[in-house]
Amino acid sequence: MEIRIGIVNTGRELGFETNESAEVVKTSVAQALDSGATHLSFVDSRGSSYIVPTAALAYIEVGTEESRRIGFVG
């Protein structure tokens, strides 16, 4: 599943693929924001870690868990 994170005052967004389900990601983000945590951490499908300060979050887009289609659309 693809996650895209917008960061305040930055023209680019952070995007990566993860093996976590959409519900797990949404729950962890909501818990971090509700508890006043200073940062969120994510692990992508290749094992790389990302730490994002919650004060700098503009948005988090959680993609669908549907597999990508391969081939041509007619």
Distance CA 44, CA 22 (A): 13
Domain ranges of the chain: 2-62
pLDDT at 69: 61
pLDDT at 29: 92
Please give the sequence-ordered ranges of beta strands (E in DSSP) within the chain, or none if there are none.
2-7, 13-17, 39-43, 49-53, 57-62
- Give, for all 74 residues of the chain, the pLDDT tens digit: 899 999 999 889 999 999 999 899 999 999 999 999 999 999 999 999 999 999 999 999 998 665 556 666 65
pLDDT at 63: 85
pLDDT at 39: 94
pLDDT at 68: 59
